[in-house]
């Protein structure tokens, strides 16, 4: 039998109650981590072995000046399975195994079976006139809990704090492994292209700093002060606040009803938050989700991404969590059409100051 020693208490800053992590190697060699408020000691259930595609390749776009990932094996990834075939549910005896070979868990993180980036990604064959490289990196799936329904609001504050703890632990491990940028994110809703409806997010660890984050790091290095912008625009653009953090519609938003969560004082990432800031951040993650659903009167499709400092830029970078909803009204989808896709120049139909006003008024 397993013992409590198989789960270790994590030394996480900002957490006054213990968070435990259990490490497990799946039958096919992928890593699985179980996070919880109590040690996890259950015996694993049987699971299959087999080989996993080791990531894809990178190709440099000479005109856009950016790397893109090519991973043809992802075309066969799981697509909208039935509830009975939910791969993110706990496993049970006498049923096909899921990705999590345990009958119970609080929160789970495992290496994506259909990964875009992989530590053992092969070096691709050269192409005439084109820069290529192996897509060396890492991709995780983050499962918010056992229940197949729910969202960042309904899972509750305790589970959101556990999610933040898992992010902090993975930030630490992935940056320590030498990855250049780590991006936790969540896609929600059919309009975003979600293929698994069990509440979950993902984490990508890149071998390069993507252009968006490279430009943000350069702006902060040149003296851009997000704290000052937040302070000067609190009355007009803030939606809510908690624990030293603000949820606000940035005046330069590109999506209708775009919302950012940021600490009022600069932090390079949530790993430097104190206990009050951890609680405030966890609360606002849920509250923004709830405000969207209350305003749009439906489950709001959105993209959420955590923009922390790329490797080596922590001295000036200001962390933000950014929500991009794909609705411009309850019955109207915000499509990224020709102008946005072709030029990167967004056309915004909803003024950020109006978005802040109406999102403040709900709940």
Q: Which helix (H) or strand (E) holds 174?
A: helix 157-176
Kindly report the three-state secondary structure assignment for every residue of 187-200. EECHHHCCCCCCCE
Cα–Cα dist 217/317, whole Å: 6
Structure confidence at residue 3 as a pLDDT band (50, 70, 90): very low
Cα–Cα dist 286/180, whole Å: 29
Alpha helices in 25-156 (DSSP H): none
Give the E-state strand segments of 40-166 in sequence order. 57-61, 66-70, 107-111, 132-134, 138-143
pLDDT at 4 > cutoff 60: no
Q: What is the pLDDT of residue 5?
A: 43
Read off the pLDDT of each residue in 6-32 and give the average, rounded to a whole number: 94
Read off the pLDDT of each residue in 317-323 and give the average, rounded to a whole number: 98
pLDDT at 94 > cutoff 90: no
Q: What is the pLDDT of residue 233?
A: 83
Read off the pLDDT of each residue in 296-302 and give the average, rounded to a whole number: 96
Q: What is the pLDDT of residue 2?
A: 38
Largest CA distance in the chain: 60
State CA 29 to chain mean position distance.
Answer: 23
Domains of the chain (ranges plus CATH)? 112-363 (3.30.428.10)
In sequence order, the β-bridge partners of residue 262 are 246
Read off the pLDDT of each residue in 14-25 and give the average, rounded to a whole number: 95
pLDDT at 288 > cutoff 50: yes
In sequence order, the β-bridge partners of residue 200 are 143
Average of per-residue pLDDT values in the chain: 94
Tokens 């923009």 correspond to: 307
User: pLDDT tens-digit profile of 183-235?
Assistant: 999 999 999 989 899 999 999 999 999 999 999 999 999 999 999 999 988 88
pLDDT at 275 > cutoff 70: yes
pLDDT at 252 > cutoff 80: yes
State CA 198 to chain mean position distance.
Answer: 15
Q: Which residue has the higher pLDDT, 72 or 310?
A: 310
Alpha helices in 233-337 (DSSP H): 234-237, 275-296
């Amino acid at each position: 039998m397993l013992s409590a020693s198989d789960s270790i208490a994590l030394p996480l800053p900002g957490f006054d109650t213990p968070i435990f992590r259990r490490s497990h190697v799946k039958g096919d060699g992928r890593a699985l981590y179980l996070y919880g408020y109590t040690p996890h000691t259950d015996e694993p259930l049987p699971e299959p072995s087999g080989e996993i595609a080791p990531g894809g390749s990178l190709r440099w776009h000479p005109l856009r000046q950016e790397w893109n990932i090519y991973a043809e094996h992802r075309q066969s990834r799981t697509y909208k399975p039935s509830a009975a075939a939910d791969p993110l549910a706990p496993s049970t005896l006498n049923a096909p195994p899921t990705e999590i070979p345990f009958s119970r868990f609080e929160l789970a993180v495992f290496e994506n079976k259909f990964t875009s980036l992989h530590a053992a990604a092969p070096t691709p064959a050269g192409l005439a006139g084109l820069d290529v490289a192996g897509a060396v990196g890492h991709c995780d799936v983050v499962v918010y809990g056992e229940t197949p329904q729910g969202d960042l609001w309904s899972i509750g504050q305790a589970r959101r704090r556990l999610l933040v703890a898992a992010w902090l632990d993975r930030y630490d491990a992935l940056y320590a492994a030498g990855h250049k940028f780590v991006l936790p994110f969540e896609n929600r809703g059919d309009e975003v292209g979600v293929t698994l409806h069990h509440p979950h997010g993902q984490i990508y660890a890149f071998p390069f700093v993507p252009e968006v984050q490279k430009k943000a790091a350069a702006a902060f290095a040149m003296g851009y002060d997000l704290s000052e912008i937040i302070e000067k625009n609190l009355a007009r653009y803030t939606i809510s606040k908690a624990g030293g953090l603000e949820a606000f519609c940035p005046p330069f938003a590109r999506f209708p009803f775009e919302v950012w969560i940021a600490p009022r004082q600069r932090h390079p990432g949530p790993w430097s938050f104190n206990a009050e800031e951890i609680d405030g951040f966890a609360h606002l993650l849920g509250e923004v989700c709830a405000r969207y659903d209350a305003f749009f009167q439906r489950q709001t499709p959105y993209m959420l991404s955590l923009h922390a400092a790329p490797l080596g830029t922590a001295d000036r970078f200001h962390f933000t969590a950014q929500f991009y909803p794909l609705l411009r009204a309850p019955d109207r989808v915000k499509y990224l059409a020709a102008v946005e896709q072709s030029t990167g120049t967004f056309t915004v139909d909803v003024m950020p100051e109006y978005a802040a006003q109406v999102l403040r008024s709900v709940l």
